[in-house]
Amino acid sequence: MRISHAARTDVGMKRDNNEDNYLVFPEQNLFAVFDGMGGHAAGEVASGIAVREMKEFFDLTGKDPEATWPFKDDRAKNYDENRIVTAIKLCNARIIEVSEQDASKKNMGTTCVSAYFVERNGAPKAYVAHTGDSRVYLFRDNKLKRITIDHSLVEEYLRLGKITEEEAKNFPQKNIILRALGQQRQVEVECNAHDPKPGDVFMLMSDGLSGMVEDKFMESIMQKQSGNLEACCKKLLDTANANGGVDNSTVILVKYEG
């Protein structure tokens, strides 16, 4: 399985520190973005814990497939789905553990979006698992399509038909998310399998990018720059900053070469 990637994060134009973190672990074909939240830089701590725990779990299970997992697996899911979901649940447990030990870190949390690529019996799969409003898009045949659903109040209202797409743009509680790591002991992780085609680019991002650059403009940038993933990452975040950069922004581009 041949995969190329590029990643970039930026503090933005309004924030003093960057609470986003990302994981690039090509040895395990694992990529993830975490958007931390909480006062006194606690969001930075939460997203940092998540990066470390996810990497350590994949490192351990990569070396020893028989290693004991901290959570029971879901029999409805295969090994690879259970592996990524368990990693995210472990991140959640560790964040809660640290927040309970330090009052200044109380209620800290982070969103999580991840893409994990595997090939079994010659069939490639991309497992996209997430909780919160960080997103994954798929750029295929020169078209950009979002492949995750935000776990947010605005997305829920849209799904229920309570508001229109136009009203969603100025929705007053736009920043309310319904799921995140570090908030409850039981975290629900959404995981979906995709069949990658050669040339596909999976774009993982925090809402500091998706909230600042409309999908059609991200698509245009990808159409012009997707041949150079590093340049494409820079252009995406530069555009977010040019549009106001009100939040930290992070993007990982993962190209499935075949």
Locate the domains of the chain by residue range.
3-256
Q: How far apart are CA 49 and CA 31, in angstroms?
A: 15
d(CA 58, CA 45): 20
pLDDT at residue 169, as a whole number? 83
pLDDT at residue number 65: 86
CA–CA separation, 187 vs 108, rounded Å? 14
Please give the CATH number for the structural domain made up of 3-256: 3.60.40.10
Instruction: Categorize the per-residue pLDDT at 170 as very low, low, confident or very high, splitting at 50, 70 and 90.
Output: confident
pLDDT in tens, 41-95: 799 999 999 999 999 999 999 999 888 899 888 999 999 999 999 999 999 999 9
Model confidence at 98: pLDDT above 80: yes
What is residue 199's DSSP assignment? T
C-alpha dihedral (18, 21, 24, 30), degrees to nearest 10:
-160
Count of residues for the chain? 258
* CA distance linking residue 240 with residue 136, whole number of Å: 17
101-156: per-residue pLDDT in tens? 999 999 999 999 999 999 999 999 999 999 999 999 999 999 999 999 999 999 99
Q: Is the pLDDT of residue 215 over 80?
A: yes
**Are the C-beta atoms of 91 and 162 separated by less than 8 Å?**
no
User: Hey, which residues does 9 pair with through a beta bridge?
Assistant: 250
Average pLDDT, integer, range 184-191: 96
CB atoms within 10 A of CB 197: 12
CA–CA distance, 120 with 130 (Å, rounded to integer) = 22
